[in-house]
Structure 1
Amino acid sequence: MVIRFVHTSDWQLGKPFGKAPDDARAALQEARLDAIGALAAAARTHGAAFVLVAGDVFDSAEPGDRVFRQALSRMGGAADLRWILLPGNHDPARADGLWSRLAAEAPPNVVAATEPTPLAVLEDVYLLPAPLAFKRTVQDPTAWFDGAETPTGARRLGLAHGSIQDFGVGETATNQIAPDRARRAGLDYLALGDWHSRRQIDARTAYCGTPEPDDFGREASGEALVVELASPGEAPRITPVPIGRYQWVTDTWTLSAAADLDAPLAALSAGQDLKHLVARIKLAGLLTLGERVAVRERLEAGLAHEVRWLDLSLADLFARPTDNDLAEIDAQGVLREAAERLRALAGEPGEQGLRAMAALERLYVEHQKAQRIGAT
């Protein structure tokens, strides 16, 4: 019998996205809920009978009533699929908390795997879940898999949330899973969550990543895995499928003139829908003061309104004020004198120089605005 299912994790529903503007924050939060529908569609397309969610269904143990109800409603709406949810480190199974409520209120096709005991998911297919009761534990939550008893000949699936390796941060490793757990426990497949990027550990062990990207610098994110088990003993077939709506990109653009902005803007727009783009762009280089202002205005008045969220850094884009720049402020008089003083201070190293340059740029911008208003 061929068995197919979807492996997903780290939905982190209710994630606050605190650094994003309000409109982007709301859109990114809604996209995480919408990923449930995309996962259901992928499951149907690939003939999967159930969906395994390997922890961190919610971003916290108190996601709020709307997020909680929306999650259950959307999974309940996909009644042709069975959804098996595992508590992770963001939403551990505390007594009388989120998971008790979920178990009591969930629709029949949604299962809370809150106990470390074999769970029958199909005929002759058993799931070994490793729910987290605490945010951190020094024990391997999958250790019990090795001695877990299931009927002879049954397929064995593992579901866990934790790290497969120690990242050497100088602290005691927590929620750490043995990299050879699938072999030790005789698992056909071990579905892992916690890492937000897809990563295959061995032929029978994989992280699927988060279905909706949630940060910059994630590789192989915005996906789920369709897992197919064919003949007993045969390694599973693991197929990544795209799920996410938003693409998160980060880049550095080095400019020596304002016109240098044309090429990276064109490359960013090529082949993708800008409204589904979250971009962290760092500008570097040395421009005249007028060019730096023009570049900033072009991005803030243009690209920032075309993408979902533009996180723009100009800290390494320096200005070299020219005589023409200062003449734009005021050919003579008080403003020109102030601009000259600021230009001199801007050449100083350290914080004072940075503040002087910021003040000079501000003076330039405000004077340009006043000139435009006076011309109308």
Structure 2
Amino acid sequence: MRILHTSDWHIGRTFHGNSTMDALAEVLGALTAQVREHAVDVVVVAGDVFDSATPSGPAYTLLGDALVALHDTGASVVVTSGNHDSAARLGFQARLLREGIHVLTDPLAIGTPVTIHDPDGPVNFFGIPYLEPAIVRQHWPEGDAEGRPLRTQAQTMAHAMHLVREGMARHDGRSVAIAHCFAAGVDATTGLEREVRQGGLDVVPLEVFDGPDYVALGHIHGRNRLSDRVRYAGAPLHYSFGEQSKPRGSWLVEIGESGLAGVEWLDLPVPRRLVTLTGTLDEILSDDNVAAHAEDWVCATYTDALPQTEPMRRLRERFPFCALVQHLPATTVESGEGSYAARLREAVSDDERIAAFLEHVREGHGPTAREIELIREVLDDRVRAEALV
């Protein structure tokens, strides 16, 4: 059986205020073509189908179009909910969907698989929706295997996988688990979800996922191989400049007669490249940069000593798709000069205090000669006003 593992579509997300709907539709069209080309039997979507718990009408339309297109290839589709999804909204049409499209959002059904057959027999797909401990612990008041209340993501996922293994014992055949969480061992440079905390209670130990032949994870936006059988596919689009160098795609998973037989990465197209340009504003606006990146999403990090006038307007005149501008001066205050608080204590006059403040917020650059004149004029006006009171 051939399985395509994808996740984190985030239908409806914007990119620095720009809609991603058309780009995502293009990429999901390419994914559908891969499903057809590689004769995929099952497409797994591991959570965060939508970007919001209250999706817009066009977001529902895009999801419907994508699911129908995948189904028309002859593949079955198994979808679970993520932390961005409303499980109720994503799952309310589950019974109305055509045969071969399965939306799994019920925590109480974790141990009941969707079973799909191939010539070697059944493959059981166990869907684990995103489990917020504070919300789902009511379903399991008995707690974990040691009777402890389910207070952490690790405890809750461990209990869910216990239910999966119980389901595996009741159903013959090979097995695939689908979950949405932050698992230990993730490469933190590959694009973490906005809400993910990399330490403490939200991390699920890798051994929790022991048992199934393959575990399809979602929640991390970059591909990750935690083991041969536990992987993240990542998001199909770049949703932040921090992800710009990471490939977009999905895992093509081969389940053989006795279990996992192979995994191959399939790249997806990038509708518009992302690039970060660093230098002075004039350097960024150079003809060479414009020639190379006029059609790219641009993050401009300019290093001029002082903030420049209307940098975004000037950048968009040259780069129509400039999405983000940041000021990061090339020079910084040397540590040996003391802290801002120390400089304030050493200042004996108001103009010295103002100069220390400007030097602090400007990464070591104090007031210009003209600014010193203006500061003194303002201070002199204040003194004259106080004298008249």
TM-score, length-scaled by structure 1: 0.68
For residues 62 and 7 of structure 1, what CA distance do their matches in structure 2 show? Answer: 25
Contact kept in structure 2, 1:13 and 1:67, CA below 8 Å: yes
Residues 262 and 100 (structure 1), Cα distance of their counterparts in 2 relative to 1, 3 Å cut: closer
- 2:126 aligned partner: 128
Letter in 1 for 2:214: Y
**1:225 is matched by which residue type in structure 2?**
W
1:215 aligns with 2:206: no
Question: Superposed, which structure 2 residues align to 1:216-365 within 5 Å?
Answer: 216-218=241-243, 220-253=246-279, 258=282, 262=286, 265=289, 268-269=292-293, 274-275=294-295, 277-285=296-304, 299-303=315-319, 305=320, 307=321, 309-316=322-329, 349-350=359-360
Aligned partners of 1:161 and 1:229: how far apart in 2?
A: 21
Pair 1:88 & 2:82 matched: yes
Equivalent residues of 1:9, 1:56 under 8 A apart: yes
Q: What SS is found at the alignment partner of 2:125?
A: strand
1:295 deviation in Å? 8.7
Q: Partner residue of 1:336? A: none
Match of 2:102 in 1: 111
Say whether the 8 Å CA contact 1:56–1:87 is kept in structure 2. yes
AA in 2 matched with 1:108: E
Residue 356 (structure 1) shift: 7.8
> Structure 2 length as normaliser, TM-score?
0.66
User: What are the equivalent positions in structure 2 for 1:11-90 lying under 5 Å apart?
Assistant: 11-17=9-15, 19-20=16-17, 25-26=18-19, 28-78=20-70, 79-80=72-73, 81-90=75-84
2:60 & 2:206 partners in 1: Cα distance?
33
Q: 1:171 to 1:7 in 2, by over 3 A?
A: closer
Moved more, 48-57 or 230-239: 230-239
Amino acid at match of 2:68: G
SS at match of 2:126: strand
Contact 1:188–1:236 (CA under 8 A) maintained in structure 2: no
| Alpha-carbon distance, 1:62 to partner | 1.3
Q: State how far apart, in whole Å, the 1-side matches of 2:32 and 2:198 are.
A: 40
C-alpha distance in 1 between matches for 2:69 and 2:358: 63
Give, in whole Å, the separation in 2 of the partners of 1:170 and 1:317.
30
* Contact 1:209–1:220 under 8 Å retained in 2: no
- 8 A Cα contact 1:204 1:235, kept in partner: no
Q: Which runs of 5+ in 1 are unaligned?
A: 319-344, 361-376
Residue 165 (str. 1) matches residue 184 (str. 2): yes
Render the CA deviation track for 1:255-289: whole Å, top value 9, x for unaligned.
7xx468548616843xxxx53x32212011459x9
Paired with 1:296 and 1:65, the residues of 2 have a C-alpha distance of: 32
| Correspondence for 2:223 among 175, 189, 198 | 198
Query: 2: CA distance between counterparts of 1:61 and 1:155?
Result: 33
Aligned to 1:143: 162
How far did 1:142 drift?
A: 2.9
Distance 2:198 2:62 in 1: 39
Deviation at 1:240, TM superposition (A): 3.2
Residues 227, 238 of structure 1: 8 Å contact kept: yes
Partner Cα separation in structure 2 for residue 133 and residue 296 of structure 1: 41
Q: Which residue of 1 aligns with 2:347?
A: none
The equivalent of 1:337 in structure 2 is: none
1:365 — aligned with what?
A: none
Amino acid corresponding to residue 90 of structure 2 in structure 1: W
Q: Distance in 1 between matches of 2:53 and 2:237?
A: 20
Q: How many Å apart are 1:6 and its aligned residue?
A: 0.9
Letter in 2 for 1:50: V
Aligned-partner SS, 1:69: helix
| Paired amino acid for 1:213 | H
Structure 2 counterpart of 1:98, from 75, 89, 92: 89
In structure 1, distance between residues paired with 2:3 and 2:168: 22
Do the aligned partners of 2:304 and 2:328 also contact (CA within 8 Å) in 1? no
Letter in 2 for 1:179: L
Counterpart residue number, 1:333 = none
- What letter corresponds to residue 101 of structure 2 in structure 1? V
Structure 2 portions without partners, runs of 5+: 135-151, 189-195, 332-354, 372-389
Shift of 1:244: 3.9
